Structures are given as structure tokens and as C-alpha cells.
Amino acid sequence: MTGYERDARGQGASTLLIVEDEILAAMALRDELEDAGYRVMDLTGRWQEALAAVKDCKPDLALVNIRLHGRDDGIVLAEDLKAQGIPVLFISGQESRARSAQTAAIGSLPKPYSVADMVVAVAYLLAHLKGDDSLPRPATLEVFDHEANGTPRAA
Amino acid sequence: MAVVEASPGPLLLLDGDLQVVAVSGSFLDAFGIDADTARGRPLASLGGGEWASPKLRSLLQATRSGAATIAAYEMDLERSGQPARQLVIHAQRLDYLDLENVRLLVAIADVTDARADEAARALAMRENLVLLQEVRHRVANSLQIIASVLLQNARKSGSTETRGHLKDAHHRVMSIAALERLLAGSGEDRVELHAYFTELCGSIAASMIADPDLLSLVVEGGRGVVDSRVSVSLGLIVTELVINALKHAFPDNHRGKIVVACDFRGANWTLTVTDDGVGLPTDPALVRTGLGTSIVQALAQQLQATVEITSANPGVCVSIDHTHIALVDSAPAPPSLTGRAAQSK
């Protein structure tokens, strides 16, 4: 168990939602995050399934790819999740799109990411949401901080 | 006059009243003007009056008086029923002893097609760049999937050794994937090494260093830019050497530090990976060669660099040295990799 994994376990099994159209990437991510002590909801790559899933269980953080199955769009999903009070981390290689939609998310860890970096990023963001910025932060994690009115603020 | 008339580029010789004294055949052809209607006529009356530009007239008058010289005046030539032509005009007053008869030599370059070609090339370059970024984006995504599969295979493997090999392969794929991501974002084919190594080492540390308070991995220097082809090799070398140091230099929770540094001296550079661990094995029987060693040797050779391993007291320093001047004079010495760095498998 790494130091970061202990950090995650120490937070008391936060729940995560992964919305990713590449099932193999999603599975690797899920396994690593579960090893780190998080509870990961059933994997999905679709907008409708993701919204249906959060009706039953509200995750502490949703990891959302911008490109989803069919014509589903991760940015639209992020806006819908945000409306329900669920923070979103973009996990997409489309960095410029993620940045342009930063009011819908709290950060972006662009592909290709290492799953180890993702574990560190998730621990950091969950602590960051509680006002604690003391945990390590991956160099590739971009954090979108917002003013009270929802407009982006330089992190 | 004969020189003007024979000029391959559009050329006019005007008098002090801006009337045409001589005109080149190339001018008449280019702008559809009849030779008989040109000579002795005011410039402004040529063709359908399209040369009657007040600004051009004003500039030519200034040139005639010696107050100015038209170096590269650009104007659009508008002709009825024809697309506008973009012209660049140069005018020079010709000074003779006969001060009564001022002459102006006017050269006209039609840059319409050149400008259109230039714009088309710029557009094609922009489109190619977008295409290249899209390809890199897809390559990075594909590498992400490959890395995920390797990681899943490692998890399912019952053999510790196999698991180690698969995780090493995962790191190698991720080192290239990280580079592709940087290249896709930059829009160039060059990489700033410090940013790349920082990202690379951050990922390796996150997955391999259990206690960051006990063991640290830092990147120093490297404030230089290299071609993507060089950076992919350097990234893989750093990956191998760092993994090797993490596996072998700090047994039994040994406290320590690994430093990755790149020093640039013009076209030359030296990459070093230094640790303050347990150092080289004293027993030669423990020295083995494996895939990691082969990769470092092969990539150093590809980069026309030499590999040197020295004791860092404590620990080990591996230097990859590229000396461009030496390459011109002589073939590079074959890299030798021995000692602890050769323990990786």
C-alpha cells in the first residue's frame, strides 16, 4: 500500500463514478482506485446510464471522459452532474475542450494519465473540496477553482 | 528605352508629368494594355483608368520631387470584369544632368498568385497541424488503452516476476504516452525536457514510491528543448534508470533520493540519473544484464551518446553524454553499461 493509498483509506471509502467509453481504461482505473480504498460505482460510458446511477447513489466525485458512447458528450453530463451537486473531474485528452468547459468541473487530468497519478489526483481533489490542499498533486492535474458565482478563477 | 521595353518584369519609364515614355512588353501583356495607346499617354489614363489612383499619383509626385522614394507600395488594381490584382510598386527617380527632363522608373510586381499560394500554404500548414494533433491525440489514447491492458495483465498474473515485467512495460508505454500528450498540446515537434521529465518522474513516483517522506525523486536542470525523436529516447532512458534505482538502490526501506538532471551546452547535453543508495554490487556475480540495460544501451547508441556509470559515494551516477563535436571528428565509442544499472531485468 502506498502513502497515497493510505490517504485514500483514511478518508473513509469515498464513492466515485467513472464515466468512460474505453472500457479497458475504465477497468484499470476502477481496479487501482478500489485498491486505494475507494468505492467505485458500476462502470458506464453513457450519459443516460450515468444520470440514472447517481439517482440511487450520489458519488463524492465523478471522473468523466468528454468523449462518451454514441453522441453523448461528457461536458453536457458534467453540467448535469454539477446541477446535482456532484463534482466532476474531466479525464479526457481533449484538454482545450475541458478547459473551455471548466465551469462544469473542478479539474482535469488529461489522457494519457497514469492510474497512479489518477489515485493521487482523486485524493488531492477530495481533500481540496474540503479546503485541504496539503496532499500531493500530480503535475498534470489542472484544478479549476471557481468564485462563488461559478465563474472560473485561476488556480 | 530599349532596356525598359525588353524588361521581363513589368516596367514603366515616366516623365515628370507622369506620362509614359517607355513601357515593357511584360507590362502590356500582364495588364492587357495596347502598346499604341500607352506611349506618350498619362499613366492615369492607361487601360480603363485603373491606374488613376490618387495615392499612387501622390507618391509618384513625391518621388519626382525627390521628397520620397516608393520602396514597396502595395495597391489593388481594380479592372472592370476582372478580379483585382495585388501589386507591389517600386519607383525610383532617375537623375540626369538634364534636370529639365525628370524620369521615373516604375517597377510593378504582381504578387496576387504568390500571396494566394502563401495563404494556401499557411492554411494547409494549419490544417496539417490540426491533423497531426488529432493523430497524436489518438495515439495517446491508444497508448492509454495498451498501458491499461498491461496493468490489468500485471494484476492478474500470479508470478511476481511476470508482474514486475508487465509493470515495467506499463511504465515504458506511459513514458511515450506522456510525450505524445505534450506534443499534442504544444503544436510543435519539440519538447521542453524539464516539463517532460517532471511529468514522467511524477507518474513513476506515484506508482513506485511507497513513502515519499522516505524516498524522493526530483528533476533538476533540463531547461532545454529537443526534437520529439530525441525526447522519446531520453524519456525511455530516464524511465529505465529510475525504475532500476528504485528497485535496487534502496533495499530495506533505505532512505534516499534520486536526481534526474539534464545539462545543455549548445548542441551537446548530458543526462544524469544519480542516487544516494547502496551503490554498485561488489560481487561481479550479482551483475546481470536484462531488458532495461539493453534498452538504455540501444537508445544511447541511437542518440550517438556514451554511457558512463560511476560511484556517487554514496550511490551511483549514470551519465548519458552526447557530444556533438566529437561525432563530427570520430565515431562515438560504443556505450558500455555495467554495474548496478545492469541489474535490471
Q: Are residues B279 and B324 in the same domain?
A: yes
Stretch 69-108 of chain A: residues touching chain B, C-beta under 8 Å = 93-95
> Is some CB atom of chain B closer than 8 A to the CB atom of A138?
yes
Q: Are residues B54 and B178 in the same domain?
A: no
Contact by Cβ (8 Å): A36, B206: no
Q: Are residues B44 and B124 in the same domain?
A: no
Q: Are residues B149 and B60 in the same domain?
A: no
The residues, any chain, with a CB within 8 Å of residue A22's CB and separated by 6 or more, are: A45, A65, B141, B144, B145, B148
Question: Of B182-186, B222-226, B258-262, B282-286, which range is least confident?
Answer: B282-286
Task: Judge whether B103 lies within some domain.
Answer: yes
| Residue percentage of chain B with pLDDT more than 90 | 41
Q: Are residues B167 and B43 in the same domain?
A: no
Task: Judge whether B105 lies within some domain.
Answer: yes
Please count the structural domains in chain B.
3
pLDDT-derived band of residue B139, with 50, 70 and 90 as boundaries?
Answer: confident
Give the alpha-carbon dihedral of B275, B174, A18, B151, to 10 degrees. -80
Q: Are residues B221 and B179 in the same domain?
A: no
B215 CA: distance to closest CA in chain A (Å):
11
Q: Are residues B117 and B106 in the same domain?
A: no
Q: Are residues B79 and B140 in the same domain?
A: no
pLDDT-derived band of residue B317, with 50, 70 and 90 as boundaries?
Answer: very high
Among A114, A38, A98, which Cα is nearest to A65's?
A98
The pTM of this model reads 0.68
Domain end, chosen from B163, B188, B213, is at B188
What pLDDT does residue B99 have?
A: 61
Cβ contacts (< 8 Å) between B140 and chain A: which residues? 93, 111-112
Collapse the DSSP code of A23 into the 3-class scheme (helix H, G, I; strand E, B; otherwise coil) and give the result. helix
Cβ contacts (< 8 Å) between B149 and chain A: which residues? 24, 28
Cβ contacts (< 8 Å) between A22 and chain B: which residues? 141, 144-145, 148
**CATH of region A3-144:** 3.40.50.2300
**Cross-chain CB nearest to A112 (options B147, B152, B208):** B147
Q: Would you call A137 exposed, middle or buried from its count of C-beta atoms within 10 A (0-12, 13-18, 19+)?
A: buried
Domain ranges for chain A: 3-144
Average pLDDT for B54-76: 87
Domain end, chosen from B54, B88, B110, is at B110
Q: Are residues B91 and B104 in the same domain?
A: yes
Inter-chain touch A93–B174, beta carbons under 8 Å: no
**Does the pLDDT value for residue A12 go beyond 80?**
no
- Strand A107-108 relative to strand A88-90, pairing: parallel
Q: Domain range for residue B162?
A: 113-188
Domain end, chosen from B110, B135, B165, is at B110
Cβ contacts (< 8 Å) between A23 and chain B: which residues? none
Q: Are residues B176 and B300 in the same domain?
A: no
Count of CB pairs separated by less than 8 Å, A with B: 88
Cβ contacts (< 8 Å) between A117 and chain B: which residues? 202-203, 206
Task: Judge whether B220 lies within some domain.
Answer: yes
pLDDT-derived band of residue B281, with 50, 70 and 90 as boundaries?
Answer: confident
Instruction: Tell me the backbone φ, ψ of residue B5, rounded to 5 degrees.
Output: -65, -30
Q: Are residues B231 and B318 in the same domain?
A: yes
Inter-chain touch A110–B149, beta carbons under 8 Å: no
Inter-chain touch A116–B152, beta carbons under 8 Å: no
pLDDT-derived band of residue A64, with 50, 70 and 90 as boundaries?
Answer: very high
Q: Are residues B77 and B213 in the same domain?
A: no
Inter-chain touch B137–A29, beta carbons under 8 Å: no
Average pLDDT for A47-75: 94
